[in-house]
Chains A and B, each alone.
Chain A
Amino acid sequence: MVGKLLLRGMLVGLVAGILAFAFARVYGEPQVDKAIAFEEQQAQAAGEAPEPEMVSRATQAGIGLATGVLVYGAALGGLFSLVFAYAYGRLGSLGPRGTSALLALLGFLAVIVVPSLKYPASPPSVGNPETIAYRTELFFIMIVISIAAMVAAVGLAQRLWSRLGAWNASIVAGLAFLVVFALVKAALPDINEVPENFSATVLWQFRVASLGIQLVLWTVVGLGFGAVVERVVAVRDQRGSARRYA
């Protein structure tokens, strides 16, 4: 059963990756190009020799971008299917499509939105190459804490469910998540490495495009996975209940 879910998850993730790649081409690449133009202009002004291109821009923006987004999409879909395999049947009476949509919503918030409020995506030339290890470390710490807080919040909501009812239990759990986020946001160091003259418009549009790519990925995975596994899961549920009532 887990194998069936995993295969479907990776395939849906691959489809999500193809759509996200198209989105990235249209809305993301123009911003990357503008950022690289800024970078070259700065280097020229400083009298530095232009960096040798190891991979051409056309390759980076074409097959390179496609490879990155598709591999990421397939991996995301696969990991999503494993989380679904655990969550299904453990989130009350929610069916496969509801479970999938809810997990995608919570996952998008915990893995993408909340961490990027602290450490947002940045185009080329925003970010000091010397701090890459430090920035990467903080970025992953933020994601891990955010996921842990979300898991704890879901657990809290389930515990309060029977006493407070669905609405109030969810609101209390959501507030608890926000408090943890506010504390962590204050505790972790800020990163601001935007160059002095970098265009605010390019930075904004790059970040909106980046969030849009993730929104495409998570929406397609959340809605697509539920649709694709509905039958397999229903057949297993039926067999499971037949055994129970036999």
Chain B
Amino acid sequence: MSDTTFAPTYGPVAIPVRELLPWAIFAGLMLMLMIYFVGAEEGATSLIRGTMVHEFVHDGRHLLGFPCH
């Protein structure tokens, strides 16, 4: 019986929110900025002057489903 009592039965252990929050904020912002550059920069809004970013990722923008011209 003793080996069943001490068998390591373990389930999923959640990550505490306070450990997750700084990652979610800083990495989350950086990752969304990456998507913004592929999907919307120099389209509806513009952080950089010109249209080079838009023209360069143009096909990806259309095929990934973002509104374009």
Report which A residues bind B (CB closer than 8 A). Answer: 1-3, 6, 24, 28-29, 32, 54-55, 59-61, 64-65, 67-69, 71-72, 74-76, 78-79, 82, 85-86, 88-90, 93-96, 99, 112, 116, 119-124, 127, 129, 132-133, 135-137, 139, 206, 209-210, 213-214, 233, 236-238, 240-242
| Interface Cβ pair total, 8 Å cutoff | 173
The chain B residue sitting closest to A39, CB to CB, is: B69
* Bound-state Cα–Cα, A86 to B16, Å: 8
Task: Determine how close the nearest CB of chain B comes to the CB of A21; give it in whole angstroms.
Answer: 9
* Bound-state Cα–Cα, A133 to B40, Å: 10
Q: Which residues of A contact B10 (CB under 8 A)?
A: 237-238, 240-242
The chain A residue sitting closest to B19, CB to CB, is: A2
* Bound-state Cα–Cα, A21 to B35, Å: 16
Task: Determine how close the nearest CB of chain B comes to the CB of A130; give it in whole angstroms.
Answer: 10
A89-B59 in contact (CB<8A) = no
* Bound-state Cα–Cα, A132 to B40, Å: 10
* Bound-state Cα–Cα, A82 to B14, Å: 13
Task: Determine how close the nearest CB of chain B comes to the CB of A242; give it in whole angstroms.
Answer: 8
Task: Determine how close the nearest CB of chain B comes to the CB of A22; give it in whole angstroms.
Answer: 13
B34-A2 in contact (CB<8A) = no
Task: Determine how close the nearest CB of chain B comes to the CB of A92; give it in whole angstroms.
Answer: 8
Interface members, chain B 3-18 (any A CB < 8 Å): 8-15, 17
The chain B residue sitting closest to A213, CB to CB, is: B63
Given contacts A6-B23, A86-B20, contact A124 B68 (CB under 8 A): yes
The 7 closest A-B pairs by CB, nearest first: A68-B60, A89-B14, A241-B10, A240-B13, A136-B44, A68-B57, A121-B65
B31-A78 in contact (CB<8A) = yes
Range of interface residues on B (Cβ < 8 Å)? 35 or more
* Bound-state Cα–Cα, A166 to B27, Å: 34
Report which B residues bind A (CB closer than 8 A). Answer: 8-15, 17, 19-20, 23-24, 27-28, 31-32, 34-35, 37-40, 43-45, 51-52, 55-69
A116-B27 in contact (CB<8A) = no
Given contacts A124-B69, A237-B13, contact A86 B24 (CB under 8 A): yes
Q: Which residues of B contact A28 (CB under 8 A)?
A: 59, 63
Q: Which residues of B contact A95 (CB under 8 A)?
A: 12
* Bound-state Cα–Cα, A89 to B20, Å: 13
